[in-house]
A and B are shown apart, each in its own frame.
Chain A
Amino acid sequence: KAGVTQTPRYLIKTRGQQVTLSCSPISGHRSVSWYQQTPGQGLQFLFEYFSETQRNKGNFPGRFSGRQFSNSRSEMNVSTLELGDSALYLCASSLEGGGYEQYFGPGTRLTVT
């Protein structure tokens, strides 16, 4: 069974631009969660989608948004990029979310200049 895939793997953007990241979960998984990972803050939860609905949300500004499609694929969008948004963005999928095992993708490395 194929694992979680994320595209693109690397991205360089300029301050003020917007970016869209994509995540394809493991086949059959309905829950997709997004995380931001920085050296100083570690992994921080952005949001979780389940059956096309946002089920949980972390403490990030409204510039960070996401959505999930009927095939469970998910996208994350960051508008008006700031230098501090430079990070590794990880996507994780699970069967139902919650207490179920999460499987992480390789991440998208975003650099904002």
Chain B
Amino acid sequence: KNQVEQSPQSLIILEGKNCTLQCNYTVSPFSNLRWYKQDTGRGPVSLTIMTFSENTKSNGRYTATLDADTKQSSLHITASQLSDSASYICVVTRRAPGGGNKLTFGTGTQLKVEL
């Protein structure tokens, strides 16, 4: 079954600290993996997208890693800010039999950054 599991479900950290969010998937055949940030009441915004051959990608203070062998990804946030408080969603794309792609979403990690 194609699934994406994220951990932890929620996380509270102090401003300025680093944190790492995890994503494990069983989606096959793999096409790409994306991390999204979703602020409350808004649509998700893409942070990174990685294909099979990429094992790390950065976007400012956000760094995503991918281990396609173990089917694991992580999102590392450096020097957290209050504005990082949001839900972080891992999405894995697989190739659909009839063409195109299908996306499988994780349920997200709710991050709260406090003073």
Contacts and interface: CB of A to CB of B under 8 A. Distances in A.
A99 B105 contact: no
A101 B42 contact: no
A106 B89 contact: no
User: A interface, by DSSP: helix, strand, loop or mixed?
Assistant: strand
B102 A56 contact: yes
Contacts of A42: 89, 105-108
Interface stretch (A44-52, A60-68, A74-82): A44-52
B110 to A, nearest CB: 10
A102 B46 contact: yes
A38 to B, nearest CB: 10
Interface residues of A, number: 24
Contact of B101 (A44, A90, A99): A99
B49 interface: yes
Nearest to B101: A98
Given A99-B93, A104-B44, A105-B43, A55 B107 contact: no
Interface string A81-105: 0000000001010000111011111
A30 to B, nearest CB: 12
Nearest to B95: A98
A107 interface: yes
Contact of B42 (A43, A55, A99, A106): A106
Interface of A: 4, 33, 35, 41-45, 48, 50, 55-56, 90, 92, 97-99, 101-107
